[in-house]
A and B are shown apart, each in its own frame.
Chain A
Amino acid sequence: MLNITETKVEGTVPVTVLRLDGELDASNYEALIVQTQALYADGTRNLLLDLDKLSFVSSSGLVALHNMALIMRGETLADAQEGWRAFHAISQDLGKASGPEVHFKLLKPQPLVKKVLDTAGFTTIMTVFEDEETAVASFN
Chain B
Amino acid sequence: MAVMANQAERVFHDVVLGDLSIIRAFVRETAVSFGCVSSEIDEFVVAVDEAAANIIRHGYKGQPGIIKITVLYTGDTFKVMLCDQSAQFDPTTVASPDMTLPLAERPFGGMGVHIMREFCDDVSYRRTANGENELTLLKRVKIRNEG
Contacts and interface: CB of A to CB of B under 8 A. Distances in A.
Contact of B20 (A27, A94, A95, A112): A27
Given A1-B21, A25-B20, A95 B103 contact: yes
A91 B99 contact: no
Contacts of B103: 91, 94-95, 121, 124-125
B17 interface: yes
A120 B114 contact: yes
B53 interface: yes
Interface string A83-97: 011011001101110
Contact of A25 (B49, B102, B107): B49
A115 B46 CA distance: 11
Contacts of B17: 25-27
B112 interface: yes
Nearest to B56: A26
Contacts of A104: none
Contact of B99 (A25, A85, A92, A121): A121
B146 interface: no
Residue in A59, A84, A88, A94 with the greatest tally of chain B CB atoms within 10 Å: A59
Interface string B50-66: 10010011000000000
A26 B20 contact: yes
Interface size class of A (residues with CB under 8 A): 20 to 34
Given A23-B21, A112-B46, A116-B46, A59 B111 contact: yes
Interface size class of B (residues with CB under 8 A): 20 to 34
A57 B21 CA distance: 11
A60 interface: yes
Given A26-B53, A88-B106, A94-B103, A62 B111 contact: yes
B24 interface: yes
A119 B53 contact: no
A101 B20 CA distance: 30
Given A23-B21, A26-B57, A58-B53, A94 B115 contact: no
A84 B109 contact: yes
Interface string A48-71: 000000001111101000000000
A56 B44 CA distance: 12
Interface of A: 1, 23, 25-27, 56-60, 62, 84-85, 87-88, 91-92, 94-96, 112, 115-116, 119-121, 124-125
